[in-house]
Structure 1
């Protein structure tokens, strides 16, 4: 990845400037801009795909569909900030997830469950974002301040992606999906006590990777 988008990610105003540059005709930067949010979308998709959907489509499939749609339809994006861009990407992800649920889970059913609620899917994704932020709580932040700082979720997603697979998975299971240690143990084929210890080590490593105080640095 080139250095320009990486530098742009360091400050919200830089992302805003990059969006304006793309709109002014520098379309070559669009793919790089969207690539900044692949880890973010991957974490959100991972938390939303249940076992039924995973048998039919992968997380990477859902993220790729979202990225392609965002690239194709970027002219429809009317926002200027990173926060608005994230909201737009979540909307696209929710749209593709809703259709995946409708197509793969309820396609053969003829009852009210076939009507997948877009709002319900979007709320689950927003809840996942809150879960990400809670991994590194900022004692000075109020709930409303946290809600307004969703950009933090992109940074946390990038840091999660740096962890080895077992650490990444146990944090997703515990902190984002809310599984008990017994459930995690079953999913990871280990004992509950080992699941708890793995989670503690994973959180410690996550804080180390994040330089311990990402949330404080962004406050």
Structure 2
């Protein structure tokens, strides 16, 4: 079973809502790599050298700590949805700052709605590399927990492996475009992708996920 159990996240959420700052901090840390992955998937290549996913996530955690008394949800699903909204606002602000700093056409300013939609699509595409648990409510909760484990394991992969999986499965790019971005041949990218997926599945399998 994944080490992020639904029981554990719900327990931490309940404890946080009763005033435990320590539980809130521990709960947020569970989502660190998951949120970093979503940020990475939304950044264009030219912004990745200037915008740190870690900084965006840390700002999101700061605001989540500050505004947690306003959270009215009761489940981990509602909590992660709330976190994603905060993340979208922070990511949008950071990207807009860089767009404006470069004096680009104002028509290219970031749309909050577009960014939110893109981030939701990135979340959905994580399903391409995890097993299908079915369609029951408990299965949906299980999938959310598996996504956290998946993000943690992706963070531990070699950079090239992580990048090719993000580009292929989360940004949903064709191999030709991935090859252009990674400055490799299409054949080399396909082989890299196969090795990356194999290693990721082995890591997930060792944790009882696949």
Report whether the alignment pairs 1:152 with 2:146. yes
Distance 1:19 1:137, change over 3 A: closer
1:74 aligns with 2:68: yes
In structure 1, the residue corresponding to 2:96 is in which secondary structure? helix
CA RMSD, 1 decimal: 2.7
Alignment map for 1:198-213 (pairs within 5 Å): 198-211=192-205
The answer to whether 1:185 aligns with 2:179 is yes
Distance 1:188 1:119 in 2: 29
- Answering whether residue 29 of structure 2 is matched by residue 10 of structure 1, we say no
Q: Which runs of 5+ in 1 are unaligned?
A: 1-5
Shift of 1:121: 1.2
Shift of 1:131: 0.9
Cα distance change, pair 180–147 in 1 and its aligned pair in 2 (3 A): farther
SS at match of 1:214: coil
Q: 2:155 aligns to what?
A: 161
Q: Which residue of 2 aligns with 1:60?
A: 54
The structural deviation recorded for 1:186 is 3.2
Counterpart of 2:36 (choices 10, 23, 42) is: 42
Alignment match, 1:3 = none
Q: In the alignment, which residue of structure 2 is the partner of 1:87?
A: 81
TM-aligned CA deviation for residue 80 of structure 1: 1.8
Q: Would you say the 8 A contact 2:133–2:142 is kept in 1?
A: no
5+ residue gaps in structure 2? none
Residue in 1 that maps onto 2:209: 214
Q: Aligned in 2, Cα 1:70/1:27: closer, same or farther, shift over 3 Å?
A: same
Question: In structure 1, what is the Cα distance between the partners aligned to 2:61 and 2:205?
Answer: 29
Count of aligned pairs: 205
The whole-number CA distance in structure 2 between the counterparts of 1:185 and 1:53 is 19
CA contact (8 A) 2:162 2:196 kept: yes
Question: For residues 17 and 126 of structure 1, do their structure 2 counterparts lie closer, same or farther at Cα, with a shift above 3 Å needed?
Answer: same
TM-score, normalised by the number of residues in structure 1: 0.81
CA displacement, residues 134-154 of structure 1 (integer Å, 9 cap, x when unaligned): 112428449xx7699444322
Higher RCO, 1 vs 2 (CA within 8 Å, ≥6 residues apart) = 2
Q: Distance in 1 between matches of 2:27 and 2:141?
A: 23
What's the counterpart of residue 119 of structure 1? Answer: 113
TM-score normalised according to structure 2 size:
0.84
C-alpha separation in 1, matches of 2:31 and 2:141:
18
**Cα distance in 2, alignment partners of residues 104 and 16 from structure 1:** 37
**Alpha-carbon spacing, 1:173–1:147, altered in 2? closer, same or farther (3 Å):** farther
Does the 8 Å CA contact 1:129/1:150 hold for their aligned counterparts?
no
